[in-house]
Amino acid sequence: MRFLVTGASGFIGRALCRGLLERGHSVIGIVRQGRPDFAGVEWRAVGDISQSTDWSPHLSGVERVIHLAARAHRPGGGAGGEEPAAAAALLRAAAKAGARRFVQMSSIKAMGEETPQGAPLRPNDPPAPEDAYGRVKLATERALEAAAREDGCELVILRPPLVYGPGVKGNFRALLRLVAKGVPLPFAGVENKRSLIFLENLVDLAVLSALHPAATHGLFLCRDGEDLSTPELIRAIALGMGRRARLTRLPPAALSLARHIPGLGAPLSRLTLSLTVEDGATRALLGWKPPFSSRAGLVATARSFAERD
């Protein structure tokens, strides 16, 4: 099939384009500017995606759209700004051009940041995003749902938890760097559980959800095959680097206080609190099983980091 992928040069986008090509599909890769050094993809630069973007030159023959592109949140921009309208405009243009299905890469942050009672998030749980990013993701989902109802396009929404893999950036990369340097990490006593998804597992699901007959309309949660505590996560990373995990124990009360420190609180919360998802419905409906275990994915990620950095 012929796919159009937005955000095609990003962390997930490049892996998705590669996965589509390996499966025999053709890919139009949408980027803001330039032409990435990546053979096999038809690269198209469109600038910043907005509701006025002219998609007509790029949608000829396209049967599936996978929308990854997202604009960084602007303070004060709110959840009802440009990103939801831009996504809805793309869906309408794709439907008009004959594309049958639109896959939106959303985020579990559209539902919330924590599962404090130990019960995992499920697709039918009421969403309760806690930050601007999560609110924009939820608003984008709702704008797409309204556009899909009007234009008859099949809409699939994926809500992954934290995505990791070779080349990962952000807080996960910072954790890799700390483990690589042998910095003692005060999480030995943390008994949380976090759902994660390896990049290649997410690519596999994204392609499947774009093609599977049962995924005509759906909201799918996803994760690796097991949830990990922060100590388990750090040990798997250390294993991939051939290092010993240096875990120390800090009293829970001290960790709780540290979560209120500006600049430190948010990343520390992600490392000490629980956030799990239940993806049984996804697996049952699509017959999907993650191709890679979380430990294999973490070892591959850590080895790649150690080799490059």
Active-site residue list: 133
Token code pair at residue 257:
């206080």
Residue type, 205: L
DSSP code at position 74: P
Alpha-carbon separation of residue 187 from 251, 253, 269 (angstroms)? 9, 13, 12
Counting other chains too, the contacts that 140-147 makes at CB distance below 8 Å and 24 or more residues apart are 140/83, 140/84, 140/87, 140/104, 140/106, 141/104, 141/106, 141/110, 141/219, 142/84, 143/84, 143/85, 143/87, 143/88, 144/84, 144/87, 144/88, 144/91, 144/102, 144/104, 146/88, 147/88, 147/91, 147/92
Alpha-carbon separation of residue 110 from 135, 137, 204, 237 (angstroms)? 6, 6, 22, 27
Place of tokens 């001290």: 254
Residue 72: burial class (beta carbons within 10 Å; 0-12, 13-18, 19+):
exposed
What span, in angstroms and rounded, lies between the C-alpha atoms of 223 and 288?
Answer: 11
